[in-house]
Structure 1
């Protein structure tokens, strides 16, 4: 990877899992892969969508992490805003100082 790498982290409700995964996978010009895991969302701004979530006290969410070039990160965010507007997708971007594969 050349240039400044960044890690884009997305937080989404579990209901968007397949749609979001499919969408990211289709962005082959920007994304070569990603990592996803389940998460429990807490806080005043977190929407508890079901009775089960209200009982548990947290929202069932997914976390997606994508390492890509900083400029590509901005392009992907623009596309996500268009495709997932209104879904309250949470994101943040952090610089990546090193990235590689240990063989």
Structure 2
């Protein structure tokens, strides 16, 4: 099994679309964590005047552990369904995963 953690950082108005994209694939059995964050990055043209003054923008951040192939399929699906959506992402290998119980 080749597990990876996919992290997506998106404008908050896309939060539901990201969650729905994951829930559309129950066969992946993917647990995820979703949070609201603020960030500063290269997409300054998409920032509101308020965000420019504050120096950061409101975003949502989603972390999900999937098999590498599933993560790529999810990314491909999001690229198709949300073109130009200003969603950042990165993928890192998962060495170990479990629950403290």
- What is the TM-score with the length of structure 1 in the denominator? 0.85
Aligned to 1:10: 8
Aligned to 1:91, the other structure's residue is in SS state strand
Gaps of 5+ in 1: none
For the 8 Å contact 1:39–1:61, the answer to whether it is kept is: yes
Structure 1 runs, 4 residues or longer, greater than 6 Å off: none
Change (3 A) 1:38 1:47: farther
Equivalent of residue 88 in structure 1, options 83, 86, 89: 86
Aligned length: 101
Q: Which has the higher helix share?
A: 2
**Whole-Å Cα distance in 1 between the matches of residues 42 and 76 of structure 2?**
27
Deviation at 1:57, TM superposition (A): 1.1
User: What value does the CA root-mean-square deviation take over the aligned residues?
Assistant: 1.6
Aligned to 1:29, the other structure's residue is in SS state helix
Deviation at 1:12, TM superposition (A): 0.1
Aligned to 1:93, the other structure's residue is in SS state strand
